[in-house]
Amino acid sequence: MRSKTVLRFVKQQANFNEFSHFKKFWRRNGFAVLGFDLNSRLHAVKDYENMKYRVKWFQKLEIKILKMISPLLFSFCPIPNTAMYIRSNGDVVFCFNDWTEENILGNVNNNSIYDVFHSPKMTDLRQRINLNSAFESDICAKCDLYNEGVYLTF
């Protein structure tokens, strides 16, 4: 089971110095580790601007490099095509950034995972994302990652 488990570390002002140790420890124990920059979670994170860790000049340079590299590797947001986010009550949402109750695709207690993932609503959103033409009403319109085109971190 370890080989299928990916641990995510969200880097922010209060913890970014811990990432290296975290990654080393968990990789040594057989887990994959991904680090992500904090994002506003569709503007839901309070005091977001003060929590960001890329505030020094070399950290700002890193983000500029990511903005240049990311579109070469991902021409559109990969999230809806590669993952599914199931809440503890079985509700499925579009994206890990969606903390609202407004975009429930279905519930795995009532429908199969396959049916929810391939629902018309999700298929339609996936097509718009793949064409980089999310509607203003889509949750993507408020997404830091989507708007900045940065789907990578280091």
Distance of CA 114 to the CA centre of its chain: 21
- On average, the pLDDT of the chain sits at 85
Residue 1, pLDDT > 60, answer no
Where are the strands (E) in 67-146, listed by range?
A: 85-86, 91-93, 104-107
Q: pLDDT at position 24, please?
A: 97
Indicate the SS3 state at residue 4: helix
Q: pLDDT at position 141, please?
A: 79
Higher pLDDT, 125 or 100: 125
Residue 3, pLDDT > 70, answer no
Residue 64, pLDDT > 90, answer no
Q: Is the pTM of this model over 0.75?
A: no
Q: What is d(CA 146, CA 41) in angstroms, rounded to the nearest whole number?
A: 11
List, for residues 71-119, the tens digit of each pLDDT value: 788 888 888 888 888 899 999 998 888 877 778 889 999 999 999 999 9
| Residue 24 backbone dihedrals phi, psi, to 5 degrees | -60, -45
Residue 152, pLDDT > 70, answer no
Contact 9, 23 (CB under 8 A): yes
Both structure tokens of 96: 């890990």
List, for residues 27-38, the tens digit of each pLDDT value: 999 898 988 888
